[in-house]
Amino acid sequence: MLRRSVEIAREAREIYYDRCTKDSSDFMRDERYRKRPILIAASVGSYGAYLADGSEYVGDYGDAVTVQTLKDFHRERVKILVEAGADLIAFETIPNKLEAQAYAELLEEEGIETPAWFSFSCKDESNVVSGDSIFECASIADSCRQVVAVGVNCTAPRFIHGLISFIKKATSKPVLVYPNSGETYIAESNQWVKSSGAAEHDFVSYIGKWRDAGASLFGGCCRTTPNTIRGIAEATYGKLKDKCI
């Protein structure tokens, strides 16, 4: 299934290129798009998601889980995604520095040359959900040769600006942010609850502030929509060609 997911994404990319070439010559002549190839990022989620007990939201795996435990858990999945031809490996929603360290060591041990990004899930402006500091976590990512970007996802928009500043202190690598809409997830009831969620137009308005703070890659995570992503793209690159979105 992992291998097939990458294959499907690669097939979709070819369909997109083919349609854009046929349907919009203006699109293909636009330097902004011809110089920005579509990359396939294969997602690697946290060990906590596998446990299915809400651990990914608090980052507490217990004393029995070690760096070696996590490396052994992720090793085969990562190798399959690399062999399938992913352009990037996206290590996402990382809840603690233990798992970040496991990823960094795994990439080195397996000699994986596919570029990767590390993206952390955070509970406030300075800490990931486990309580580990984002500075420490970003420092681990900074020390990993294969990591080409460091950032935050699955986090409330109101925390992003502060998190960017701490990440920038830990690394000179590009910073990526793709937060949630801002609603609160209640793990016990498996429900999203309205809180200080950001409307789509408000969410998009943050992009300029996050860019000024030092982020350079943007997206949306839980409870964001295709309209959110379209708005982000337009805020970043200007109005896009409708036929090729």
- The annotated binding site for Zn(2+) is made up of 154, 221-222
Q: How many residues does the chain have?
A: 245
Annotated binding site: 154, 221-222
Structural contact between residues 117 and 90, judged by C-beta atoms closer than 8 angstroms = yes
Tell me whether strands 116-120 and 41-44 are parallel, antiparallel or unpaired: unpaired
Q: Residue 126: what are its φ and ψ, rounded to 5°?
A: -140, -5
Report the distance separating Cα 208 and Cα 14, nearest Å: 31
Closest to 224 in 3D by CA, of 177, 181, 178: 181
CA distances from 216 to 77, 165, 225, 243 (A): 28, 13, 20, 25
Strand order in the sheet with 41-44: 41-44, 88-94, 116-120, 147-153, 175-178, 215-218
Q: Which two tokens stand for residue 17?
A: 């290129």
